Chains A and B, each alone.
Chain A
Amino acid sequence: MNDLSSAIAQALGMLLHWDAGLLRIVGLSLRVSLTAVGVAALVGLPLGAALAVARFPGRGAVMAVLNALMGLPPVLCGLLVYLLLSRSGPLGAWGLLFTPTAMVVAQAALIMPILAALSCQLLRSLWEEYAEQLRSFGLSRLGAVPTLLWEGRVGLTTVLLAGFGRAAAEVGAVMIVGGNIEGYTRVMTTAIALETSKGDLPLAIALGLVLMLVVFGVNALAMALRGWADRSGH
């Protein structure tokens, strides 16, 4: 008990003094996960919107695959990206393995199906509401995609926040493709795993607190956005 309370006290001390090592880890975490959300959104949101409006044979199968990929274990995702980027892999020549870029790739691959499936669900109900009116305006199904994305902006923002929460909290994928190299590819989750196993609890606790704050912050942001949207008629 004494060990634990002194560890917590040390952790709070690190947080209060903006410990440089801690800040570097938190900064890299945010940079990697935010970039991953951006990359995944560029693919996932238009894909989700197109799936929401399109009618083609095999649409059901594509949706089933996306829904299954939503539950892809991060370690498996990390392994697949590792095989892709490793020296003997198809993209090995790019030399990306064990870099922050590889971590972005792994997290983006992990959350892209989540963003696509959730946005598809959201935009489908929007499309049901708008389909006749937009076609009356002369828009084709795919031509309506930009309009749908804009009309769903509030809901899509919460989808992005959910994706960010998932990316920031996962440990398996970044551990495998990043390698948890100190000062280079060490992020909050991999540091917590390592420091805990080493018995260096203060740093692990401090990082855990920050991670929790980030997750709470993201949720608070999503709730605030919903409330604002309800009040302002969006």
Chain B
Amino acid sequence: MIRADNLSFAAGGVPIIRDVSFALDPDGPTLILGPNGAGKSVLLRLLHGLLEPDAGQVRAPGPQAMVFQRPVLLRRSVLANVLFPLRGPDARARAEQALALVGLQAMAHRPARRLSGGEQQRLALARAAAQRPAILFLDEPCAALDPAATRAVEEIIRHLAAAGTRIVMTSHDLGQARRLAGEVLFLHQGRLLEHTPATEFFAAPRSPEAAAFLRGELLWAPGA
């Protein structure tokens, strides 16, 4: 369903993604893990088409949506934000349904940028969900959130995954990865070191880098 073949990407001459190939499991969710600077966010952007690879190709079906680490909200009401990418006569109904899913229906007419951080990220999720994407990319969606807001966001992600949305996300939170992942892509210095089912990855990582990462000893990619 989602494939990458010999993907490479460099920024300003510095290689970020080096010859990465994989075919994702049809179910997921897929968690892209790795130390800071491993290339997780760049890989996500290559898969979503926000970045063009220097070499190789991506095959990922549409429609797709993406939620970013910092929610990018328009200076409009909550409802208008969800409606923005939607077309068609059922847009309003889909928007209201998505707001109900994330528990923001009561705030539909509030200015979006007055919401709390957790509410803003839930709104970004509602906007993505209302687009009914086949694939939903999430780039560290909980990195800036407190534990309660993180739980709420994870609950929504689980719900969307159960309803058939293919989830591909990055996270630096190992607890979150254990709770959500069906399979893991482990990146280190732009290379794909492991692509394994989550249970296997957390129980018995194959590469010494992944083992060190799981022990909490590999937080930055040296020299990256």
Query: Which A residues have a C-beta under 8 Å from some C-beta of B?
Result: 129-130, 132-133, 135-138, 147, 151, 153-154, 232-234
Contacts and interface: CB of A to CB of B under 8 A. Distances in A.
A130 B72 contact: yes
Interface centre among B72, B75, B113, by most A CB within 10 Å?
Answer: B75
A197 to B, nearest CB: 49
A154 B112 CA distance: 16
B157 interface: no
A132 B113 contact: no
A207 to B, nearest CB: 39
Contacts of A130: 72, 74
A234 B111 contact: yes
Contact of B65 (A132, A136, A232): A136
Contacts of B45: 132
A130 B84 CA distance: 13
Given A130-B72, A133-B72, A136-B66, A232 B111 contact: yes
Which 6 pairs, one residue from A and one from B, show the smallest C-beta to C-beta distance? A133-B72, A233-B114, A233-B111, A137-B85, A233-B113, A136-B66
Nearest to B124: A133
B75 A151 contact: yes
A154 B75 CA distance: 10
B50 interface: yes
A208 B78 CA distance: 47
A126 to B, nearest CB: 9
Interface in B131-153: none
Contact of A233 (B64, B66, B68, B75): B75
Given A130-B72, A132-B68, A151-B74, A137 B84 contact: yes
B48 interface: yes
A133 B75 contact: no
Contacts of A136: 48, 50, 64-66
18 contacts: A129-B72, A132-B66, A132-B68, A132-B72, A135-B50, A136-B48, A136-B50, A136-B64, A136-B65, A137-B84, A153-B75, A154-B75, A232-B111, A232-B114, A233-B111, A234-B75, A234-B111, A234-B113
B208 to A, nearest CB: 34
A132 B64 CA distance: 13
A232 to B, nearest CB: 6
A138 to B, nearest CB: 8
A123 to B, nearest CB: 13
Contacts of B65: 136
Contacts of B74: 130, 147, 151
Contacts of B113: 233-234
A230 to B, nearest CB: 11
A133 B114 contact: no
A133 B112 CA distance: 15
Nearest to A232: B111
B50 A132 contact: yes
Interface in B43-86: 45, 48, 50, 64-66, 68, 72, 74-75, 84-85
A233 B115 CA distance: 9
Given A130-B72, A132-B72, A138-B85, 10 more contacts: A129-B72, A132-B68, A133-B68, A135-B50, A147-B74, A151-B75, A154-B75, A232-B114, A234-B111, A234-B113
Nearest to B139: A132
A233 B45 CA distance: 29
Interface centre among B45, B72, B113, by most A CB within 10 Å?
Answer: B72
Contacts of A138: 85
A154 B111 CA distance: 14
Contacts of A154: 75
B51 to A, nearest CB: 10
A154 B66 CA distance: 28
A135 to B, nearest CB: 6
A136 B128 CA distance: 10
Contacts of A132: 45, 50, 66, 68, 72
